[in-house]
Chains A and B, each alone.
Chain A
Amino acid sequence: MNETHVLIIVVAVIFTNNILLSNFLGMCSFLACSRQIDTAVGLGSAVTFVMTFTTALNYLIYRHLLLPGGLEHLTFIVFIAVIAGFTQFVEMFVERFTPKLYYALGIFLPLIAVNCAILGAALFMVIRNYTFVQSVGFGFGGGAGWALAIILMAGLRRKMGYSNVPRPFQGVAITMVVTGVMALAFMGFAGMVSIQ
């Protein structure tokens, strides 16, 4: 078992081991949806929500179903099914009961099913041997860290709209370079806390 305190995991996964900036997870939707701050906030909170719950759910399934049954080779397919099923369920639930939230979050939910950060968080949880509480913390922190990164990026991209970017760099290339600089800035947090 991994001995790290859950709060350390939460802080580490937001700042020092940011799931996007140091593990490169969830880049596709990061690049596609970071144009506007509103969108970024919506997607970021949806990811945080789904990641917290699916990591917990996947933990329970992995520990109590797959591991005792010797079915580890099915891990990937089960995890992805849980994530897709959960997002589908949440979408229907939110649409039925809180239409307001549905319009804020709902449109992002299908996108999340294939967001690799969610599956990545579940896989990291398995590899690092987290306990249940640690997994929930990791899922929540991972989502929050991802949300932080995409919201910051949306702000930077709005600023970039006014700057004169060289032609070949326009679009994705400059976003990538700026993300690199942001990752560099986040490396400043290294040493504050560390998890492996």
Chain B
Amino acid sequence: MASSGPQTCGPCQGKGLATFKAGVWRENPISIQILGICSTLAVTGRLENAFVMGGALIFVTTMSNLFISLLRSFTPRGIRMIAEMAVIATFVILFDQFLKAFYWEMSKQLGPYVGLIITNCILMGRAEAFALQNPPLVSMVDGLANGLGYAAVLAIIGFIREMLGTGNVLGHAVLPAEWYVPNQLMILAPGAFIALGFLIALSNAVRSHEPGQGRP
């Protein structure tokens, strides 16, 4: 239930809002923690794919964080990795099957990258760093926030790459063909690396101007 945002979190011991903000901006999974880079680069050639992937991540992080947190007191330490993997894989399979059943074209375009959500470091990272130590609801908020932070970065990169690479965004002409020659490079692999590199640099530059947020 994605609706349990920060405001409905009485049971989160007041940690809801802080957790949410940390996930989306202060400790953004991509630009700060540098997690989940593979899919960030791979699916952002088109904004539409970026949206679907962002949605998938929001769903999987939220649900897996909730369930890993619910199971945390029964999971023996020795097998916790396997247990986490199993929970994560379950939700990824659910999403994959959903995509295959209702959006076959999209499923084909994303190719192996839906399955690769399992090894997306954000999921293991959040499970290890947060869900294992915190109660279910606040873990769910953490998962949701990290998913949103990830989806936001994906959307930005997807927008930039599709706009510069084709001149269109979601099928609408943004940069008119009269004077803009589409730079194919942006939708190819190097464009992805370079766009993300500049985005991280930009976010570092912005952060270094925030009071008390100077990055080393």
Interface set of A (CB-CB < 8 Å, partner B): 21-28, 31, 73-77, 79-81, 84, 114-116, 119-120, 123-124, 127, 166-170, 172-177, 179-181, 183-184, 187
Contacts and interface: CB of A to CB of B under 8 A. Distances in A.
B170 to A, nearest CB: 22
A184 B183 CA distance: 14
Nearest to A85: B82
B192 interface: yes
B202 A114 contact: no
A116 B96 CA distance: 17
A177 B198 contact: yes
Contacts of A169: 197, 201, 204
B193 A179 contact: yes
Contacts of A21: 189
Contacts, number: 125
Interface string B196-214: 1110111011001000000
B20 to A, nearest CB: 24
Contacts of B116: 25, 116, 119-120, 123
B202 A77 contact: no
Interface string B176-197: 0000000001001111111011
A169 B192 CA distance: 16
B97 interface: yes
Contacts of A81: 82, 85
Contact of B38 (A28, A167, A174, A175): A28
Contacts of B189: 21-22, 24, 180, 183, 187
Nearest to B207: A168
Contacts of A176: 193-194, 196-197, 200
B200 A116 contact: no
A164 B184 CA distance: 30
Contact of B119 (A74, A114, A184): A114
A80 B37 contact: no
B42 A23 contact: yes
B197 A180 contact: yes
Interface stretch (B48-56, B68-76, B86-94): B86-94
B175 interface: no
A183 B193 contact: yes
A23 B43 CA distance: 10
Given A28-B38, A76-B93, A168-B201, 13 more contacts: A22-B189, A27-B41, A75-B115, A80-B85, A84-B85, A114-B119, A124-B112, A168-B202, A173-B197, A173-B200, A176-B196, A177-B194, A181-B194
B146 to A, nearest CB: 15
22 contacts: A24-B42, A24-B189, A25-B116, A28-B121, A31-B37, A77-B90, A80-B85, A80-B89, A114-B124, A116-B119, A119-B119, A120-B116, A167-B208, A168-B202, A170-B204, A173-B198, A175-B197, A177-B193, A180-B194, A180-B197, A183-B189, A187-B189
B49 to A, nearest CB: 13
Name the residue in A119, A170, A173, A177 with the highest tally of chain B Cβ atoms < 10 Å from its Cβ.
Answer: A173
A77 B190 contact: no
A27 B36 CA distance: 8
Nearest to A76: B115
A184 B193 CA distance: 10
B99 interface: no
B111 interface: yes
B190 A187 contact: yes
B18 interface: no
